[in-house]
Structures are given as C-alpha cells and as structure tokens.
Amino acid sequence: MNLIPSVRSRISVPGMCSLESLKKFRCAGLNATAAGLVAERFPKLAASHDKKGFFAEFTASAKGLSPLDAGNGSDAYVLQITEKAIRIDANTASGLFYGLQTFLQLPASTPCGTIRDEASIPIRMIHWDLKGYQPTVKAFLEELKILASFKINAILLEIEDKYAYRCAPEAGVPDAYTFRDLRKISRAAADLHIMIVPKLQCLAHVDYLLKHKRYHALREAGYSFQYCATNPDAQKLWNAMADELIECFAEHKQYFHIGADETDHLGVCPECRKLGKGGSYIYKLERSIDHLISRGRTPVMWEDILRNAHNNLSPEEARQCWSLGKKAVLMYWAYGYGGKNNTFPSLKSYLAEGMRVWGASGFAGCDNWAGSLPPLDFRGANIDAWTKSAIEEKLECVVATGWTRIASADCPAEPQESSWFTILYAAASMWSGTPRDFTKFIYDLSLLLYGEIPEPELVEAVRHISKAPYRLESLADKDFSNRRLAFLRLAAAAESLSVERDLFCNWNQYFFGKLGKSLADYRVNYMNRYPVLRAEKIQAFKKQILPVLREFYAETTVADFMNTRFGYLEKIIADTAALVRKTKKC
C-alpha cells in the first residue's frame, strides 16, 4: 500500500479484506460531510449512527471488531483490518476524520493488519494565495476536499483584492468573491476539519487598495505600497476590513494573520518620522494586534522585520520590534531559494525569548516568479527541512506557502492547480515527519489524484522543469478528458514557452544588424517559414489551454495568465517576422 501521507506504524497479518464485500457502516463522531465521503465511495453500504464515541466500522457480516485505544497523539487514530471488517477508533473527531481518509485510500483488496498513526506537526497549514489566482467557488470547494483528504487541517487564506469588501468600495476585482461566497467556503472548510486563518496586510503590500484615488490619503508619504503607520483613518479602515473577514469566517475563531512583512518605507512622513522607523512599525502593529485581541483572535505576523532581513532598520530598532513577539505568533519564513540555505538561524533565538513561532516553507512562487510549475526537487528539500526543524524544536505549526503573485503589481506565478505535487508533498511531510523519494512520490500521488501515472517527460518536468522543459510537441496525441491532468500538462507547456522566447531572442541577437537589411538567402528562407509555423502552434495552444483555465479560475485570473504567458512571446515572434520580411536576400 502506497499511502499518502505514510502511516507511523503498520503491522500486517495473514489475509486480505475485499472492500467490496463490506455491507454495513456504523459510526459515531463523524459529521454529515465526512459520512458523505463514505457514501460517495461506497454508495451501497447500509449506514447507522451511534451517539457516543469516535469510531467508524465497516463489516461484511453482523460481527464487528472490538475497539482499540488510539492514544493521545495529535489527531491520532488506530485502524484495524480483518478479512470481514475494518474499524477506525480515535479519541477526537479530527483523529477519526483522518483515519477515515486513510481508509478511503485503501486498495480494493487490502492486506489485513493494524495501522496506528498520528500527526508529527499538530497544525499542518497550506497558504492559499488568491492574489494571482482566484478559483471559482466550485473549484475552491473541490480544493478543500483534496487538502483534507491528505490530512491538511489549516489554510492561511491570503485574500487581498479577491473579495468585494462592503466597507472598502473598489478594493475587489470585478469578479471578486461575495460575502455569501466566503461564508460558503468557511462552512465547507469547517466541516472538513480545516481551520481558515484569514490574512489581511496591516502595513505594506497594500497597493491593491491604495492605488485607488479614494484611498490615496492613507499612503505613507504618497507611497502606494504602504499605509501611513500613524494615520488614524488607515487604522480605522483596516479594523473594519478585519472585522468583515472575521464575520465571513465566523466558524474559525482562533487566528488572524496581519502580514507586516517587507515594510521598506517606514518613518517617512512628518508624523511617522517623530517615532522613527522601528517606532512607527511598532505603533502600527500594536494597534492592529490589540484590535484582533479585542475580537477574540490570536494575531499572527511575519517576522522578517524582527530579524532585519531587508536591512531597513538599525540593529537597535530591529531589536525593539522583538517586543511584538510577546503579543503575536511569529511566522518565520525561509524558502530555500534554488534549493539552497535551508537553515533557520533566528529560530532558536526567538524560542529562547519565549516567543511562539510557526515555520513557513515554500511550495510555490519561490524559484520562478513567472513560472507555472514549481520544481519539486527544490521545494521538497525546503519543506523537509522545515518539517525536521519543527519536530526538533516542537513547533505546533508549519505553513507551506505558495505565492501566486509576489506583489500586487507582479505577474501571476504558479497556479495552485499545477502545484499539487509540492502542496501534497508538504502535507505528507508535515503529517509523517519523514522525507520521501521525489520520483516515487510523483508516481504514488498521480495514481491517487489522476488515476494514472503521467508520461516520463512530465514526471521530469514536475521534478525540475527548468532542466526538463515540457515542449508544445509533448502535448500531441494526449488524452485531455482528465481535466486535472490536462491542466498539469498545459501548465508545464506554458512555462516551457520560455524555450520559444529564448530562440527568437537568440535569433535577434545572432543576426543583429542584418535582420531588416540583408542576409544569406538560405537563412532568410528558413526564418520566413519558422515564425509562421510557431505562431500557428502557439495560437492552437492558446485555444487548448483557455477552456481548461476557465474550468478552475475566475475570468480576471484567466485573462492575466493568458496575457503574461503569451503576450510578450507573440510580440517577439511578430517583430521578428516583420524584420525578416524587410530583409533582402544576398
């Protein structure tokens, strides 16, 4: 059995259980959503529900199995398999839910034995960044199911301009989520044992809002990237926006992320200058933190300013900011860019000061800011390094971040839909606490997610697409009926358009000063044909990818992706073709 995540302990005994032979399903402690997952997979089971305990039992006859104690580990469960019955026991509803996810991965004919399992990291969080990609509501609900099925129990939801705030007109894009949409998403996540942590930037990264004329007065000295830290109207607006998100996610009462990273424009206006850079940062954050505490939420913040990662503060000012770590959870990000420097030197220092620290790895948006497929080789190494550190230092949470847009003005990076291998590698790592062979993981996950193993060239692209591009020619004769797998192939081909771009750039470099003037006839003849052929192929590719993108993402997202992946390449091809037409043969 190739289970994802892998289980902590499995003791096998002789015999096999045929899942199709199971006739009855009895449970206690499963909500309607969880019971519905069973009904989807086994629609013919006769179901009954008890009122006490946390168990699920599947039997082929009247005789069931005796309960076992699952232990007190995080989300622990025990799963017994005999020839005639399967039983899951847990001490919590979440433990039972995750035992059920393991049961739903079992093959049709399953070896008998006992599985004991628990999470290595209690809060296993995935960052769902809406800046670059806004899933349709239908797609978002499907994504939540996938995350839950691989034992993710929290998402850091970066909303930015993808919600139509009632208190902040113009903040949302035209097809932004409504209040009703977010309420639906909130309830669905809660039913799947996924905690939503909303994220609303309180200081920097707010140009999505401050670009609008009605909010210009809230800028720090006219700088659209950042609020003025001492402007009371800016704080009032942020409080109202935070309150609205708290209302949207009413089921999720634990945490709220205030951002607070990369604040490179501190202490500029006259009022902020009086406080200094560090002082104005503390002033703004304390007011945001106190507001959330008054609303019953635990604040979470990025910690890069405390370690002076950008050298914007003096050492003394940075150290003063450490006081914030006494009032908020610090989320320590370190992404191992290019597969290097997967060490976290400030971690022990924070913990020594008694601060509550969560780790942050990167599953996407770290290596190619205009990419479409994150490299598992690099991302997996970073994810495993954070898992190891979290277990050693007993951190309660690690979040795997996926930056779909580095900042509001930037192009969209890798979509979530083509990032499942790195997302779910993070899920597997955070649950089991152990690394896996990357290629084998791709094979195992492909069978679970797509029902088949992709072609070898796509497997290599998933591992490291910059080393193994997936050319347009690779799409020939592929079956696109599996839409998730189709998206993966098309995204890989979209990133590999950089090969086409480089070719045309090289031509312009090689023949600079000759194109548009005169060139050997055999070269002109070839270059007259090639741009036309490539332009035709790219137009066909656009027609292929566009409907698949629309199945998963809102129209604003789709238009942005198409423009940033194809616009410049089409211009280079057209410009090259125009120069060739002007070139005289010699």
| pLDDT 10s digits, 529-567 | 888 888 899 999 999 999 999 999 999 999 999 999 999
For the cut 80, the answer to whether the pLDDT of residue 337 exceeds it is no
Average pLDDT of span 389-418:
96
- CA-to-CA separations, 101 to 54, 65, 111, 447, 452, in angstroms, rounded: 14, 19, 17, 16, 20
Q: How far apart are CA 305 and CA 294, in angstroms?
A: 24
34 compared with 508, residue with greater pLDDT: 34
- How far from the centroid of its chain's Cα atoms is residue 398's Cα? 13
What's 91's DSSP letter?
S
Predicted local distance difference test score (pLDDT) of residue 503: 86
pLDDT band at 209 (very low <50, low <70, confident <90, very high): very high
Average pLDDT of span 239-255:
98
Predicted local distance difference test score (pLDDT) of residue 508: 85
For the cut 80, the answer to whether the pLDDT of residue 364 exceeds it is yes
Q: How far apart are CA 421 and CA 465, in angstroms?
A: 13
Q: How far apart are CA 58 and CA 238, in angstroms?
A: 50
| DSSP annotation string for 148-199 | HHTT--EEEEE-TTSB--SSSTT-S-TTPBPHHHHHHHHHHHHHTT-EEEEE
**Structure tokens given for 193:** 């044992």
Is the separation of the CB atoms in 397 and 126 below 8 Å? Answer: no
- CA-to-CA separations, 401 to 147, 341, 364, 367, 383, in angstroms, rounded: 14, 17, 7, 13, 10
Q: Which residues are within 8 A (CB) of 570 and not within 5 positions of it... i.e. 6 or more apart?
A: 535, 538
Phi then psi dihedrals of residue 392, to 5 deg: -65, -40
Determine what percent of the chain is predicted with pLDDT higher than 90. Answer: 89
Q: How far apart are CA 386 and CA 377, in angstroms?
A: 15
Average pLDDT of span 317-345:
92
Report the mean per-residue pLDDT for the chain.
Answer: 96
Q: May I ask the CATH class of domain 200-333? A: alpha beta
Q: How far apart are CA 292 and CA 276, in angstroms?
A: 25
Is the separation of the CB atoms in 137 and 186 below 8 Å? Answer: no
Q: How many CB atoms lie within 10 A of CB 105?
A: 16
Radius of gyration of the chain (CA): 26
Predicted local distance difference test score (pLDDT) of residue 348: 96
Is the separation of the CB atoms in 471 and 493 below 8 Å? Answer: yes
Lowest pLDDT segment from 215-224, 326-335, 512-521: 512-521
Q: How far apart are CA 317 and CA 59, in angstroms?
A: 65
Q: Which residue has the tokens 């039913």?
A: 191
pLDDT tens figures, 146-168? 999 999 999 999 999 999 999 99
Phi then psi dihedrals of residue 254, to 5 deg: -90, -60
Q: For the domain bounded by 9-117, which CATH number is listed?
A: 3.30.379.10
For the cut 80, the answer to whether the pLDDT of residue 176 exceeds it is yes
- The conformational region for residue 6 under phi > 0 = left, psi -120 to 50 = alpha, else beta, is beta
The dihedral formed by the CA atoms of 493, 494, 498 and 501, expressed in degrees to the nearest 10? 110
* Partners of 329 in the β-ladder: 300
Is the separation of the CB atoms in 565 and 546 below 8 Å? Answer: no
Is the separation of the CB atoms in 302 and 346 below 8 Å? Answer: no
pLDDT tens figures, 12-42? 999 999 999 999 999 999 999 999 999 999 9
**Structure tokens given for 434:** 């152990």
- CA-to-CA separations, 373 to 356, 403, 464, 542, in angstroms, rounded: 33, 12, 9, 17
pLDDT band at 507 (very low <50, low <70, confident <90, very high): confident
Predicted local distance difference test score (pLDDT) of residue 22: 96
Phi then psi dihedrals of residue 365, to 5 deg: 75, 20
Average pLDDT of span 458-473:
95
Predicted local distance difference test score (pLDDT) of residue 62: 77
| DSSP annotation string for 199-214 | E--SSBS-HHHHTSGG
510 compared with 8, residue with greater pLDDT: 8
Predicted local distance difference test score (pLDDT) of residue 189: 98
**Structure tokens given for 333:** 């990000």
Q: How many CB atoms lie within 10 A of CB 13?
A: 11
**Structure tokens given for 36:** 């519905």
Predicted local distance difference test score (pLDDT) of residue 528: 86
Is the separation of the CB atoms in 576 and 515 below 8 Å? Answer: yes
**Structure tokens given for 61:** 């006859």
Q: How far apart are CA 436 and CA 118, in angstroms?
A: 18
Predicted local distance difference test score (pLDDT) of residue 531: 83
Q: How far apart are CA 372 and CA 370, in angstroms?
A: 7
Beta-strand (E) ranges in 204-323?
Answer: 219-220, 223-227, 255-257, 298-302
Q: Containing H/E element for 27?
A: strand 24-28
pLDDT tens figures, 114-140? 999 999 999 999 999 999 999 999 999
Instruction: Give the strands of the sheet with 77-81, arranged side by side.
Output: 9-18, 109-117, 77-81, 85-90, 55-59, 24-28, 46-49
Predicted local distance difference test score (pLDDT) of residue 340: 76
Is the separation of the CB atoms in 107 and 77 below 8 Å? Answer: no
Nearest to 3 by CA among 149, 110, 102: 102
pLDDT band at 307 (very low <50, low <70, confident <90, very high): very high
